[in-house]
Chain A
Amino acid sequence: MKEFNSVSPEIAAQLAAVVGERRFYMGDRVREDYTHDEMPIYGKHMPECVCEVESTEEVSAILKICNDNRIPVTPRGAGTSLTGACVPLHGGVVVCTERMNKILGYDLDNMAVHVQPGVLLQDLAADAEAHGLMYPPDPGSKTSTVGGNVATNAGGMRAVKYGVTRDYVLALTVVLASGEVMHLGKTVCKTSTGYSLLHLMVGSEGTLGIITEMTLKLVPQPGMNVSVLLPFFDMETCIATVPKIKMANLDPQSIEFMGADIVESSSSFSGKKIFPTVVNKKDVGASILVTFVGETEDELYEKMEKLDALGQTCGAIDTLVVDTPTLKKEVWTARSAFLTAIESDTKYMDELDVVVPVDKIASYLMFVHDVGEEYGLTVRNFGHAGDGNLHIYACSNDLEFDEFWRRNKLLMQRCYTECARIGGQLSGEHGIGHAKKEYLEESVGEVPLRMMQAIKAVFDPNGILNPGKVVS
Chain B
Amino acid sequence: MLNILVCVKQVPDVDLVKMDPVTGSLIREGVPAILNPLDGNAMEAAVRVKEQYGATITAITMGPPAAEAVLRECLSVGADRAVLITDRAFKDADTLATSYVVAKAAEEFGPYDLIFCGKETLDGATGQMGAQLAERFGSALVTSASRILEIDEAADTLVTEREMETGIETVQARIPCLFTIEKTNYQPRIPNFKGKKAARFAEIVTRTASTIPGLDPSRIGAVGSGTIVPRTYPPERGESGVMIDEGSAERNGAKIVEILAETGLI
Interface size of A by CB at 8 A reads: 26
B94-112 Cβ-contact flags toward A at 8 Å (1 or 0): 0000000000000000000
Q: A320–B193 contact, CB under 8 A?
A: yes
Q: What would 4 more interface pairs be, CB under 8 Å, given A31-B246, A321-B196?
A: A301-B200, A319-B193, A321-B191, A325-B34
B221 within 8 A of A: no
Q: Mark B200-215, 1 if CB is under 8 A from A, else 0.
A: 1000000000000000
Given that A301-B200, A319-B192, A320-B193 are contacting pairs, would A272 and B187 also be in contact in the complex, using a CB cutoff of 8 Å?
yes
Contact of A325 among B13, B200, B246 (CB under 8 A): B13
Given contacts A31-B246, A323-B196, contact A273 B187 (CB under 8 A): yes
**CA A228 to CA B194, docked complex, whole Å:** 12
A327 contacts B190, C-beta separation under 8 Å: yes
Beyond A31-B247, A229-B190, A273-B187, whether A301 also contacts B197 by CB under 8 A is yes
Q: Give the complex CA separation of A301 and B196 in angstroms.
A: 10
- Cβ of A190 within 8 Å of any chain B Cβ, yes or no, is no
Contacting pair B32 A325 (CB below 8 A):
yes
Q: Is the CB of B190 within 8 A of A326?
A: no
The contact string, 1 if C-beta is below 8 Å from chain B, for chain A 308-352, is: 100000000011111111110101000000000000000000000
Known contacts: A29-B251, A301-B200, A321-B196. The answer to whether A276 contacts B35 by CB under 8 A is no
Other-chain contact of A320, B15, B37, B190, B246 (Cβ < 8 Å):
B190
- The residue on B at minimum CB distance from A323 is B196
Q: Would you call A304 an interface residue if the criterion is a C-beta within 8 Å of the partner chain's C-beta atoms?
A: yes
Give the distance to chain A from B151, nearest Cβ to Cβ, in Å: 20
Whether, in the assembled complex, A449 has its beta carbon less than 8 Å from a beta carbon of chain B, the answer is: no
**From A32, A229, A321, A326, contact of B247 by CB (8 A):** A32
Q: How far is the CA of A31 from the CA of B73 in the complex (A)?
A: 51
Chain A's closest residue to B31 (CB) is A325
**List of 3 A-B pairs having minimum Cβ-Cβ separation, nearest first:** A319-B193, A320-B190, A325-B32
Residues of B within 8 A of A320 (CB): 190-193
Given contacts A273-B187, A274-B187, A276-B190, contact A324 B35 (CB under 8 A): yes
Write the A270-304 contact mask toward B (1 if CB under 8 angstroms, else 0): 00111010000000000000000000000001001
A residues with CB within 8 A of B: 28-29, 31-32, 228-229, 272-274, 276, 301, 304-305, 308, 318-327, 329, 331
- Inter-chain CA distance A324–B76, complex, in Å, is 12
Measured between alpha carbons, how far is A363 from B36 in the docked complex, in Å? Answer: 44
Which residues of chain A are within 8 angstroms of B191 by Cβ–Cβ distance? Answer: 320-321
Query: Which of chain B's residues 168-200 have a Cβ closer than 8 Å to chain A?
Result: 187-194, 196-197, 200
Chain B contacts for A318, CB-based, 8 A? 192-193
With A273-B187, A274-B187 in contact, is A324–B193 under 8 Å at CB? Answer: no
Minimum distance in angstroms from A334 CB to a CB of chain B: 11
When C-beta atoms are compared, the residue in chain A nearest to B69 turns out to be: A324
The reply to whether the CB of B78 lies closer than 8 angstroms to some CB of chain A is no
**What chain A residues lie within 8 Å of B130 (beta carbons)?**
none
Query: In the assembled complex, which residues on chain B have CB atoms less than 8 Å from the CB atom of A331?
Result: 190
Q: Which residue of B lies closest to A322 (CB)?
A: B190
**Which residues of chain A have C-beta atoms less than 8 A from B13's C-beta?**
325-326
Query: Across the interface, which residues of A come within 8 angstroms of B224, CB to CB?
Result: none
Question: Could you tell me the distance between the alpha carbons of A318 and B76 in the complex, rounded to whole angstroms?
Answer: 14
* Chain B window 222-266, contacts with chain A (Cβ cutoff 8 Å), 1 for yes, 0 for no: 000000000000000000000000111001000000000000000
Residue of B nearest to A22 (CB): B258
Nearest chain B residue, comparing its CB with the CB of A309: B193
Residues of chain B within 8 A of A276, CB atoms compared? 189-190
Contact of A304 among B190, B193, B248 (CB under 8 A): B193
